[in-house]
Amino acid sequence: MRLENPTTGHLVWRLSMKWRAAVDRTVKPLGLTHAQYSLLATLTGLVGRGVRPSQRELADHTGLEPLHVSKLARALEQAGLVTRPPDPDDPRAVRLDLTARGHDVITEAISLVRDLHEELTANLGGSRSARTRRFRDTLQTLLGDDPTGSEKTMTTARAVGGRDLNLAAAASRSLLTTLLDREGLDFTDYVVLRTVANGAQPADTLVETIAATAVAPAEAVRSVLDRLVTAGRLTSGDVVDVTPVTRELVERVTADSTEAGDRLFAGIAPEDLAAAKRVLDTVTARAGEIRAQL
């Protein structure tokens, strides 16, 4: 599907994801993943020049995080494709080298990926066409001579990481939790009550709707629903609705939560909030893409 007015960054990202998925499929019969192939192919080039790199040096060459390289190297060692002898100059480090089997596997993999490269560049006239050379030059220009931007974050500490996102999410969630504690509710209770307050609906529909949001499994939602009906917060019957008292409760908690949110983001420049939203949207989308590949 051709995208309307896509940004250059989005196209580069989509192309990189397409390439990674294609390489994954191509080298899978050899027992490799795209990341393992990248590591082995890079190691092959270095070994061919007489270099036995450390894991950190290999991370710098591949653009992968050192911890990821360490994990990949251990898996490849267990598969009999690489060795990890101690570094004679640093007893805390190891050097990487190919085994004979590793050399055979990566030689075959490189041949398969070259064929894939020809296939994917066919619309440009093949890997040696003038269009492909210009495209490669354009990509090289975008990359620059030195790692910059997000590429640097592959081997250096990020300004923001998953832990920071989790801490921020937990901190902001705690504000709502505090408000709910005052009313004797938990988060799932509130989601059920707020959903029903927005419109009465059959119990089965309510359970399916909330379970689909991954707030809680269907069985847990059903249990919460039954408890809220027993407590008199919801009406019983085929169609579930809130009582007048419960509606006031939901409106009160929602208003208090909105006020807390306003205070939470007060003083943060709109452009900073917009940038944060773009980052969060990107992280969410990428997480979905990566989860689908795991």
Domain ranges, ordered by start, for the chain: 8-120, 162-293
pLDDT digits (tens, 9 = 90+) for 131-160: 988 988 888 888 776 544 444 444 444 556
Q: Give pLDDT, residue 154.
A: 41
* Predicted model pTM: 0.49
Q: What is the DSSP letter of 231?
A: T
Other beta carbons within 10 angstroms of residue 277's beta carbon come to 10
Give the model's confidence band at 90: pLDDT under 50 very low, under 70 low, under 90 confident, else very high. Answer: confident
Angle at 124 between CA 142 and CA 19, to 5 degrees: 60
Query: Could you tell me where the beta strands, DSSP code E, fall in the chain?
Result: 82-83, 86-87, 90-94, 97-98, 201-202, 239-240
Sign of CA dihedral 275, 268, 259, 216: positive
Mean pLDDT of the chain: 85
Distance of alpha carbon 111 from alpha carbon 26, whole angstroms: 10
3-state class (DSSP) for residue 268: coil
**Long-range contacts of residues 69-78, Cβ cutoff 8 Å, at least 24 apart:** 69/39, 72/35, 72/36, 72/39, 73/39, 75/36, 76/36, 76/39, 76/40, 76/102
Task: Please tell us whether the domain made up of 8-120 is placed in CATH 1.10.10.10.
Answer: yes
CA atoms within 13 A on the CB side of 37: 24
What's the CA gap between 116 and 107, in Å, rounded?
14
What pLDDT is recorded for position 81? 95
Predicted confidence at residue 151, as pLDDT, reads 46
Name the range with the highest mean pLDDT among 20-29, 89-98, 279-288.
Answer: 20-29
User: In CATH, what is the architecture of 162-293?
Assistant: Orthogonal Bundle (1.10)
Q: Is 84 left (phi over 0), alpha (psi -120 to 50) or beta?
A: beta
Residue 243 gets the label, from left (phi > 0), alpha (psi -120 to 50) or beta, of beta
Q: What is the pLDDT of residues 4-28, one digit of tens each?
A: 677 888 788 888 888 889 999 999 9
Cα 218 to Cα 189: distance, rounded to the nearest angstrom? 13
CA geometry: angle at 121 spanning 108 and 110, to 5°? 10
What is the H or E stretch that residue 218 is in?
Answer: helix 218-230
